[in-house]
Chains A and B, each alone.
Chain A
């Protein structure tokens, strides 16, 4: 069966500090990978998606970046955090291909920028 991991689970970082969140998927190959952010009481905002190693597309211009160094690893980074970067960050995966498949979410990282 497939599982998705995210870490850390919670993070408190000062403004201006760097960020690195990691997501890994097990039990599947060549998945589509997604990073979402959810502000308190809000919906899910797609930040980045990837259909393969090294292939990253950004949906929202901001001070965040993403990388996919391995097939089942997705990393979200920032060089300098802003207060507005606080939120619940969710990684998700779906089967790759041309059809529309359901997405499965990781447990999330709750980030507080102080």
Chain B
């Protein structure tokens, strides 16, 4: 049931773009995205509730393909502050409301 995130790690130069994918074998009710910096707690980025929904703020956006049970996080013109580990959390149809199953994370490193 744990969603699969890809890639596991990515290194970027400032200004480059990245895509992080999250794929589930189960039907999804929602997908949440969080970023965690080393030694800190995860911080909420965005939640996608409907298939086809896309959201974004600043230069970070995400999409949710309900049919494919996939979500992607897009980071555009990356900044040093984007470095961290990104986790997707999936809420399953028929599962306990609000309970998230997290992927193993994607470590993003942005270099100057």
Which residues of A are in contact with B by a Cβ distance under 8 Å?
Answer: 32, 34, 42-46, 49, 51, 57, 59, 90, 94, 98, 100-108
Q: Give the docked Cα–Cα distance between A46 and B100 (Å).
A: 8
Which residues of B are in contact with A by a Cβ distance under 8 Å?
Answer: 2, 29-30, 32, 40-44, 47, 49, 87, 89, 91, 96-105
Residue from the list B2, B43, B98, B103 in contact with A100, Cβ < 8 A? B98
- B44:A102 contact, CB within 8 angstroms: yes
- B105:A102 contact, CB within 8 angstroms: no
How many contacts A-B (CB < 8 Å)?
57
B41 / chain A contacts, CB cutoff of 8 Å? 90, 105-108
Q: A105-B42, A108-B41 are contacts. A100–B102 as well, Cβ < 8 Å?
A: no
B49 / chain A contacts, CB cutoff of 8 Å? 100
Can you list 12 A-B contacts with CB-CB less than 8 angstroms, sorted by A residue number? A42-B105, A43-B104, A43-B105, A45-B102, A46-B99, A90-B42, A100-B30, A104-B44, A106-B41, A107-B40, A107-B41, A108-B40
Q: A49-B99, A103-B32 are contacts. A43–B42 as well, Cβ < 8 Å?
A: no
Residue from the list B97, B101, B102 in contact with A98, Cβ < 8 A? B97
